[in-house]
Amino acid sequence: MKIYIDGEYYDKENAKISVFDHGLLYGDGVFEGIRAYHKRVFKLQEHIERLFYSAKAILLEIPMSQEEMCDAVVETCRANQIENGYIRLIVTRGAGSLGLSPDSCPKPGVIIIANTIQLYPREIYENGMEIITAATSRNYVNAVNPAIKSLNYLNNILAKIEASNAGCEEAIMLNSEGFVAECTGDNIFILHKGTIYTPPLAAGALYGITRNTVIDLAREAGFKVEEKNLTRYDLFIAEECFLTGSGAEIVPVVMIDKRIIGSGKPGDVTRKLEEKYHALTHVSGEPI
């Protein structure tokens, strides 16, 4: 495996960063998780744009242009002979002092890892997932804004631990007002009486690339899609529920907090959107 670090490639064993890097010390940095399908990097431009937005929000100046970053991602995939895989793109504040101040970090670091990923067992996609609601609240928008895809994921990890302790793969996170925000790593959708609903971004949901793609696909298929504040009650009475994310793709949910969703099996609308999503990944993306 060849890992890109600041314009150079290193074998996995030799791919290292400084212990003084503020990405390690303080979670000071941003990242993207990107998929490659059939020798194409899916939604690359959208991911790079979001990376630069996240960096701007934390006053982190990425030492290359968006076009150069796109080229570096494709070249890293090519160097690793990726056909179907997962790319983790990281920009750290860089090495500095042990103090909090980012002014001690003269040069940001850029890391690109092109490998594979399997977030959930295959049977979950076939039979559906059981999830819970976490006690851990989603970050407030005036704290670490959830729109920023930062290296500080402890908020999500704490909720993930709750899911694991309950014997589940995922957990729903509520915002400070008690409305549904998202899951620990995925956006959430429900179907109720013919309309597809998903929490608004202002509720604490990530600006999901897959979320936006699924909204577009659903509307093209003739479904009404609305962003709406959702409570746990809304989830419990839904006819279908599914999660979306670049790593996860589309995951059917069949039980929430021990309440069976719909028939207790992945729904027809979820399956239809899965088919449309996978069809799109066959023909769309930046060639490797």
Query: Does 239 map to a domain?
Result: yes
Where among 115, 146, 169 does a domain terminate? 115
Do 87 and 154 have their domain in common?
Answer: no
Range of the domain at 52: 2-115
Catalytic member of 16, 43, 107, 149? 149
Query: Does 97 map to a domain?
Result: yes
How many domains does one find in the chain? 2
Q: How far is CA 178 from CA 27, 196, 238, in A?
A: 27, 20, 18
Do 242 and 279 have their domain in common?
Answer: yes
Do 48 and 130 have their domain in common?
Answer: no
d(CA 94, CA 19): 10
Do 154 and 39 have their domain in common?
Answer: no
Do 246 and 195 have their domain in common?
Answer: yes
Do 131 and 42 have their domain in common?
Answer: no
Where among 70, 87, 115 does a domain terminate? 115
Do 90 and 218 have their domain in common?
Answer: no
For 135-198, give the DSSP string: SSPPPPTTSS-TTS-BS--HHHHHHHHHHHHTT-SEEEEE-TTS-EEEESSSEEEEEETTEEEE
pLDDT by residue, tens only, the chain of 288 residues? 999 999 999 999 999 999 999 999 999 999 999 999 999 999 999 999 999 999 999 999 999 999 999 999 999 999 999 999 999 999 999 999 999 999 999 999 999 999 988 879 999 999 999 999 999 999 998 899 999 999 999 999 999 999 999 999 999 999 999 999 999 999 999 999 999 999 999 999 999 999 999 999 999 999 999 999 999 999 999 999 999 999 999 999 999 999 999 999 999 999 999 999 999 999 999 999
CB proximity list for 281: less than 8 A, separation 6 or greater: 35, 37, 38, 40, 42
Instruction: Check if the beta carbon of residue 269 is closer than 8 Å to that of residue 222.
Output: no
Query: Does 227 map to a domain?
Result: yes
Helix (H, G, I), strand (E, B), or coil: what is residue 239? coil
Query: Does 279 map to a domain?
Result: yes
Do 83 and 146 have their domain in common?
Answer: no
Do 184 and 139 have their domain in common?
Answer: yes
Q: What is the CATH number of the domain that holds 41?
A: 3.30.470.10
Do 144 and 21 have their domain in common?
Answer: no
Query: Does 288 map to a domain?
Result: no
Q: What is the CATH number of the domain that holds 256?
A: 3.20.10.10
Where among 115, 146, 173 does a domain terminate? 115
Give the up-direction half-sphere exposure of residue 272: CA atoms within 13 A in the CB hemisphere: 14
pTM above 0.85, yes or no: yes
Q: Quick one: which of 80, 34, 32, 36 has its CA closest to 284?
A: 36
Q: How many CB atoms lie within 10 A of CB 97?
A: 12
Do 199 and 101 have their domain in common?
Answer: no
Could you confirm whether 56 is annotated as catalytic?
no
For 44-85, give the DSSP string: HHHHHHHHHHHHHHTT---SS-HHHHHHHHHHHHHHTT-SSE
Do 141 and 232 have their domain in common?
Answer: yes
